[in-house]
Chain A
Amino acid sequence: MNKETDKMEYPIFEVFIRSKNGLEHRHVGSLHAADPEMAMENARDVYTRRQEGVSIWVVESKNITASNPEKSDELFDPAQDKVYRHPTFYDLPIELKHI
């Protein structure tokens, strides 16, 4: 038999599931499939055997652009000192109601 890696691997898809209407789709994991149709069928079998979802998205992993953790500082640090984006930054008299 061919014990070499046979380069016939199916591409990887990421799977997102909406657990019930009113909630967003959430990433649950990934799987291999030859095409999106097969990915959908596999996602149903692998990730919703116990009514975990009412809707599935599959997207081929190579189509996802991810942020680089090494760049986390420059991406996310600038938000750290923007206290004026939060309601508590603004001083109002306590006797004021509903604001």
Chain B
Amino acid sequence: MKVARQNIHWENHQKHIPTVEEEGGRVWGCFRSCFLQSAAPYTEGIAYKILKNDLGIDLREAPGHTSCGAIGYHGDVTKLETQMVIAARNFSVAHYELGVDNLFSFCVTSFANYTEMIQLWQEDPQLREYTAKTLKETTGRDFWIPQVCGYPSVVHASDIFYANRHILAAKAKYSLKGIKAVDHIGCHYAKIFPGEVVGGCEFPRVLVGLLEAFGAEIVDYPERRHCCGMGFRNCAFPENRDYTASSVYKKLSSLKETHPDCDLILTNCPGCTVFLDAEQGTIKEVLGVEFNIPVMDYAQLTGLLLGYDPFKDCGFNAKVVPIEPLLDKIGIPYDKSKTPEERRRPF
């Protein structure tokens, strides 16, 4: 089912992300996500394997690049000035130490943060000057702005999967034919800079395009664009996490009412990947309501379809919702001589 609305200009806007068959699409610098590194490290693991082995991308990452600090920014312990200079430092390290022009991040909050800084520098020469000067004074490094196809910007890792979706689909061992799926786009991927998103924030194409390339049928539901409830200080401090669980409940109730047969939710944000899954456990315990909808990110799904091991490579052993029913439905084999516990506990 194709959902679209034609009257807003950025919905027609398609930013250009080079594929591996194009100039500028074979070498990428990348920034890791501190959220994924802490709460779902396997997702970066499988993304790396696919980008390197299946797409043949030369991925470059400097030991000295740091977190963008945006969790601290939205968690109110840093300032805009801090974010600008840290971003400039990471860009400078990537360009002058690794020789890259194109950059992507694994975290949607980093993507929005870097996009914001680049746009501020473009709009306001004073901020650019402040950043370049402070960067030089604090680190001795030179200011540089990353570009994708000549346009000052960075992209998100899911953009690269989207750009190369037909190449990935051609390599896939399994297909999503007969599978009903829906996307859940990270708020910080789509809602801060809708103009930097393939298809804008109400009808983004990035994950739907990938799902369609793999043969899935897309379903729609009323609360599709509601936030997962990660909410920074709300998920981080246990006493606030009813916020997170309530948001997940609102979304998933809406999905179940409209499409009780939806087989999976595809994400591109670290927070959504973790909490849309985990809070299903809380909801089951507190309310006795079971949704049992598998939640996975673009790299985990692509990994499954390319034939990577669901547990060792794609990390489905650390999830709350069991993945086996979906594997059976798609026809992906796994070791049935083992119990679910044995499959998940290798040591």
Tell me if chain B binds chain A.
no
